[in-house]
């Protein structure tokens, strides 16, 4: 992906890529499932998508042991096309397969379905930051604090960022700034799909709200966001966060069938949920929830001594999930 990433060094180029879908060079993003074997690799990777960039075919792959994703030219791997249910059977005993199954065991609640808590190897939490559509600028102080306060002890600082396509389109300067922190090795971001439009209604009941709103085109919400990420040089992860943390069992199953592990939260700080070790912490850095950001910054101050002593840290969501789903 470094080649794709290198094309967008400026926010102007990023804005152009995001404003004109396809023009950024990424189009025809589709669900394409199978197993890919790379020369020298011990185990196959899972193919989730195919897409075209700069006139060349690419595949989006996930490593079932690390949950890391990569985009590779289609010619770089030999691919066996398999149905999603065949892929699920083939990877059932891998951390990725177990994470999908574990998420499915928590797929029923209307709110906060999916993984909400992980088994950490040491004290600490996973931080997830949602960027839902917003007219306000990015709350940069959250990321600045991560770099300045944790970066001395953990570099890059792991953070999961849940992106909406609408936010990316409206905030190219903020996105470019965020990507510069990743490029400079300050942050290790896990980019989570949070739908494209993130529709929500102040009047509809929860069970008809967010992605449950009648008329929602789920495939386009999932895939357009991934295409926007790829156009911006971002590799989408194999995680999904439901807008509003709201889903039905049927919607949940459809998202899992895209190969995505839904991630909820047991510590939405602005809703007075307090983190424990292994919590998946949720804050919004889209300017709409300064309270959550303030509380996270306070958490960093409270943990300052432990951070300095190396006894409290942020975890990488991919590693946490892969580790949590290790055989018991």
Q: How far apart are CA 225 and CA 19, in angstroms?
A: 13
C-beta closer to Zn ion: residue 66 or 248: 248
Taking the complex as a whole, the smallest distance from the CB of residue 8 to Zn ion amounts, in Å, to: 24
**Listed ranges 9-17, 43-51, 129-137, 273-281: which one lies at the site for Zn ion (CB under 5 A):** 129-137
Rounded least distance, CB 280 to Zn ion, Å: 14
Q: Closest approach of Cβ 243 to Zn ion, in Å?
A: 5
Number of residues that this document lists for the chain: 328
Please calculate the CA angle 279-165-155 and round it to the nearest 5 degrees: 45
The smaller minimum CB distance to Zn ion, of residues 53 and 164, is found at 164
Among the listed residues 283, 311, 286, the one whose alpha carbon sits nearest the alpha carbon of residue 296: 283
Q: Which stretch binds Zn ion (CB under 5 A): 11-19, 125-133, 246-254, 320-328?
A: 125-133
**Which residue's CB is nearer to Zn ion, number 100 or number 129?**
129
Cα 195 to Cα 221: distance, rounded to the nearest angstrom: 5
Nearer to Zn ion, 243 or 264 (CB): 243
Residues 131-150 binding Zn ion (CB under 5 A) are 132
Residues 160/195, Cβ–Cβ less than 8 Å: no
**Which residues ranging from 224 to 243 are in contact with Zn ion (CB under 5 A)?**
243
Work out whether 193 is an interface residue with Zn ion (CB under 5 A): no
Q: Cis before residue 156, ω within 30 degrees of 0?
A: yes
Q: Does 289 bind Zn ion (CB under 5 A)?
A: no
- Shortest distance, position 203 Cβ to Zn ion, whole Å: 18
Size of the site for Zn ion (CB under 5 A): 3
Closer residue to Zn ion, CB minimum distance, 188 or 192: 192
Q: Are 278 and 123 in contact (CB under 8 A)?
A: no
Tokens, residue 13? 């180029």
**Nearest approach, Cβ of 223 to Zn ion (angstroms)?**
18
For residue 291, count other CB atoms closer than 10 A to its CB.
14
Which residue's Cβ lies closest to Zn ion? Answer: 132
> Three-class SS of residue 180?
helix
130 binds Zn ion (CB under 5 A): yes
Rounded distance, CA 10 to CA 216, Å? 33
Which parts of 66-223 are beta strand (E)? 69-73, 78-81, 124-131, 157-163, 187-193
Name which of 289 and 325 has its Cβ closer to Zn ion. 289
Residues near Zn ion, by CB under 5 A: 130, 132, 243
């Amino acid at each position: 992906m470094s080649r794709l990433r290198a094309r967008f060094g400026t926010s102007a180029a990023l804005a152009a890529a995001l404003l004109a879908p396809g023009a950024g060079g990424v189009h025809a993003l589709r669900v394409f499932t199978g197993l890919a074997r790379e020369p020298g690799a011990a185990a196959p990777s899972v193919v989730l998508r195919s897409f075209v960039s700069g006139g060349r075919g690419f595949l989006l792959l996930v490593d079932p042991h690390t949950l890391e994703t990569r985009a590779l030219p289609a010619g770089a791997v030999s691919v066996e096309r398999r149905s999603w249910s065949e892929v699920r059977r083939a990877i059932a005993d891998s951390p990725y397969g177990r994470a999908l199954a574990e998420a499915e065991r928590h797929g029923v609640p209307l709110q906060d379905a999916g993984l909400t808590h992980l088994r950490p190897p040491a004290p600490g939490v996973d931080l997830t930051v949602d960027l839902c559509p917003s007219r306000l600028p990015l709350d940069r102080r959250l990321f600045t604090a991560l770099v300045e306060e944790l970066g001395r002890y953990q570099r890059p600082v792991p953070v999961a960022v849940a992106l909406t396509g609408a936010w990316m389109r409206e905030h190219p300067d903020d996105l470019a700034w965020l990507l510069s922190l990743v490029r400079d090795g300050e942050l290790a971001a896990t980019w989570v799909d949070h739908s494209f439009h993130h529709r929500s209604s102040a009047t509809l009941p929860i069970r008809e709200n967010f992605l449950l709103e009648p008329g929602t085109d789920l495939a386009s919400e999932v895939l357009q966001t991934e295409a926007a990420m790829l156009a911006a040089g971002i590799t989408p992860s194999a995680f999904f966060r439901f807008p509003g943390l709201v889903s039905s069992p049927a919607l949940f199953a459809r998202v899992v069938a895209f190969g995505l592990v839904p991630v909820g939260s047991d510590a939405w700080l602005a809703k007075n949920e307090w983190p424990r070790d292994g919590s998946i912490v949720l804050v919004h850095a889209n300017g709409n929830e300064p309270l959550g950001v303030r509380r996270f910054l306070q958490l960093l101050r409270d943990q300052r001594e432990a951070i300095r002593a190396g006894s409290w840290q942020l975890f990488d969501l991919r590693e946490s999930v892969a580790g949590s789903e290790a055989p018991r």
